DNA sequence: TAGGGACCTGCC
DNA sequence: GCAGGTCCCT
């Protein structure tokens, strides 16, 4: 057992980790009281939140940590811009204090995490993602745990259907290796990284060449894994929230491609490049209300 | 182009 | 019964 490569403190981070997790950006992050731990962007973290200070153990140095969690982002400025796009979000913005877009940089992990998410619920998705990450290379052994990066496309192609069936993947079991194979045919990790550099809409079109990837997953991968900040992932919750807020005449109708475009255009018109972050605010607010209703 | 059904599994 | 969809079919 070796020590963590880096141990440091971050003073007054204006970031609420629990809020970032609640907004559905990451699946490999655990919280127990003041203790947070997980792997993000190929870096392992144990973070103890001590009042106004983070005690961090990681293989990522302080500047990498600050970048990943958006520590130095000026939230006041962002919130003002979102508020200007829709004054009706004032209350939701207050509830979302400390929310950030986490910089993940690992489109493979994002892609396969959301591949597990279709027609599924969070607790099982997390279990499945953790299961897949067991196939990843070891980052290190710290704090009594073996920390792993998410497996590469090559490794994912080798995971058999029966193996994943046995681990409770259900009908998604064959999709993992199928999707990985197709991604390799399209150019593998270089192709995925290239999608960061082209317009968001083109990137999403390309992503949908993958089996099991429809518009919603393409949106999630584009926003969370490729860093396309203007993308708005629209799931059932977002559709409910958005019709209530902006398209009351469509309340109760089903979400089609054309209506999806309608929502995307409305968010871009209102929030521009902050459309993705505005989406997070609306999503967190909607999920909070949804839980309260139940 | 809109609507409807099947799909694994686990938790309500 | 339903869940942070996708795919296939009218």
Q: Which of A145, A181, A196, A216 is catalytic?
A: A216
- For chain A, the structural domain boundaries read 6-95, 107-225, 236-293
Alpha helices, DSSP H only, in chain A?
17-22, 62-69, 75-85, 90-95, 107-115, 122-133, 153-157, 161-166, 173-185, 188-194, 200-207, 215-220, 236-245, 257-271, 275-293
Distance from residue A49's CA to nucleotide B12's C1', rounded to whole Å: 33
**CATH architecture group of domain A107-225:** Orthogonal Bundle (1.10)
Respond yes or no: is residue A145 known to be catalytic. no
Nucleotide nearest to A216 (CA to C1'): C5
Surface-to-core class of residue A205, CB atoms within 10 Å of its CB (0-12 exposed, 13-18 middle, 19+ buried):
middle
Nucleotides in chain B near protein beta carbons (<7 Å):
1-4, 7-12
Q: What is the pLDDT of residue A185?
A: 98
| 3-state secondary structure (DSSP) of residue A53 | strand
Distance from residue A217's CA to nucleotide B7's C1', rounded to whole Å: 17
CA end-to-end distance (rounded Å), chain A: 45
**CATH architecture group of domain A6-95:** 2-Layer Sandwich (3.30)
In angstroms, rounded to a whole number, what is the distance separating the alpha carbons of residues A192 and A187? 8
| pTM for this predicted structure | 0.97
Distance from residue A289's CA to nucleotide B1's C1', rounded to whole Å: 32
Q: Which residue is nearest to nucleotide B12 (CA to C1')?
A: A294
Q: How many other CB atoms are found less than 10 A from the CB of residue A24?
A: 20
Q: What is the pLDDT of residue A94?
A: 95
Q: Which two tokens stand for residue A195?
A: 């999608």
Q: Which residue is nearest to nucleotide B10 (CA to C1')?
A: A124
Q: What is the pLDDT of residue A291?
A: 81
Residues with CB under 7 A from strand C: A 23-24, 117-122, 208, 211-218, 220, 233, 235-237, 283
Distance from residue A252's CA to nucleotide C10's C1', rounded to whole Å: 22
CA-based torsion, A194, A200, A201, A204: positive or negative: positive
User: Same fold for the domain at A6-95 and the one at A107-225?
Assistant: no
Matching residue, tokens 């990843």: A136
Beta bridge mates, A54 = A10, A49
- Per-residue model confidence as pLDDT tens for chain A (294 residues): 689 999 999 998 999 999 999 999 999 999 999 999 999 999 999 999 998 999 999 999 999 999 999 999 999 999 999 999 999 999 999 999 999 999 998 999 999 999 999 999 999 999 999 999 999 999 999 999 999 999 999 999 999 999 999 999 999 999 999 999 999 999 999 999 999 999 999 999 999 999 999 999 999 999 999 999 999 999 999 999 999 999 999 998 999 999 999 999 999 999 999 999 999 999 999 999 888 877
Q: What is the pLDDT of residue A1?
A: 65
Nucleotide nearest to A118 (CA to C1'): C5
In angstroms, rounded to a whole number, what is the distance separating the alpha carbons of residues A100 and A68? 10
């Amino acid at each position: 057992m070796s020590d963590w490569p880096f141990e440091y403190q971050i003073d007054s981070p204006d970031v609420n980790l629990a809020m970032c997790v609640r907004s559905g950006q990451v699946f490999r992050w655990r919280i127990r009281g003041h203790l947070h731990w997980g792997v993000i962007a190929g870096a392992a973290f144990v973070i103890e939140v001590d009042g106004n200070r983070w005690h961090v153990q990681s293989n990522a140095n302080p500047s990498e940590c600050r970048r990943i969690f958006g520590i130095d982002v000026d939230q006041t400025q962002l919130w003002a811009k979102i508020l200007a796009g829709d004054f009706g979000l004032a209350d939701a913005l207050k509830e979302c204090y400390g929310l950030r877009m986490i910089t993940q940089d690992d489109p493979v992990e994002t892609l396969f995490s959301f591949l597990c998410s279709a027609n599924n619920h969070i607790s099982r998705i997390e279990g499945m993602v953790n299961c897949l990450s067991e196939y990843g290379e070891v980052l290190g052994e710290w704090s009594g745990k073996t920390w792993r990066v998410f497996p590469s496309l090559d490794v994912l192609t080798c995971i058999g259907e029966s193996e994943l069936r046995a681990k409770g993947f259900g009908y998604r079991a064959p999709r993992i290796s199928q999707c990985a194979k197709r991604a390799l045919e399209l150019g593998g990790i270089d192709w995925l990284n290239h999608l960061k550099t082209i317009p968001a809409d083109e990137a999403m079109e390309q992503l949908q060449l993958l089996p099991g990837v429809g518009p919603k997953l393409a949106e999630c991968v584009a926003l969370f894994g490729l860093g396309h900040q203007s993308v708005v992932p629209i799931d059932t919750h977002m559709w409910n929230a958005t019709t209530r807020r902006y398209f009351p005449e469509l309340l109760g109708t089903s979400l089609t491609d054309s209506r999806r475009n309608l929502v995307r255009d409305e968010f871009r018109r209102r929030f521009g490049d902050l459309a993705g972050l505005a989406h997070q605010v609306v999503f967190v607010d909607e999920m909070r209300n949804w839980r309260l209703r139940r």
